[in-house]
Amino acid sequence: MKLRHRLTICAALLICAALCASYTVRDLRAQPAVQPAAHAAAHTPAAAPSPERFALCGKNGYVAVIDPDCAAPVVTDIELAALREADRRLVEAGVSVSSREELLALLEDLGS
């Protein structure tokens, strides 16, 4: 291979490496610093409400919602057989949902 081609390839690789390094540094700077547990606990309000946790699962051929405020799962009218295969497997395995808004959006998607 000619010297000129080798120099061109080396220059291209050097530029690529510089771009990758700059993107990596930018991403590292954008991440927030992790606080130690003792320091984070000192700045956490004592009356912070615990986040809502819901779960979707299958029950008697329907999608059911496990609500932490209810003793029994709430069964919806969404049939598991009507779902796509991937969605059905996810629901049967159990889907954790962190907020009521997320739960409603997920149920709307499954029901349509």
Report yes or no on whether pTM surpasses 0.75. Answer: no
Decide if 45 is inside a domain.
no
74 lies in which domain range?
Answer: 54-111
Residues 60 and 96 in one domain: yes
For the beta carbon of residue 63, count every other beta carbon within 10 angstroms: 27
Residues 22 and 58 in one domain: no
Decide if 23 is inside a domain.
yes
- What letters, b where the CB count within 10 A reaches 16 and e where it falls short, cover 26-51? eeeeeeeeeeeeeeeeeeeeeeeeee
Task: Summarize pLDDT for 28-78 with one digit per residue, the tens.
Answer: 666 555 555 544 555 545 444 446 688 888 888 999 998 887 888 888 898
Residues 26 and 63 in one domain: no
The answer, yes or no, to whether residue 2 has pLDDT greater than 70, is yes
Decide if 40 is inside a domain.
no
Residue 64: strand pairing partners: 57, 75
Number of domains, the chain: 2
Decide if 104 is inside a domain.
yes
Decide if 62 is inside a domain.
yes
Residues 64 and 23 in one domain: no
Task: Summarize pLDDT for 72-90 with one digit per residue, the tens.
Answer: 888 889 899 998 998 889 8
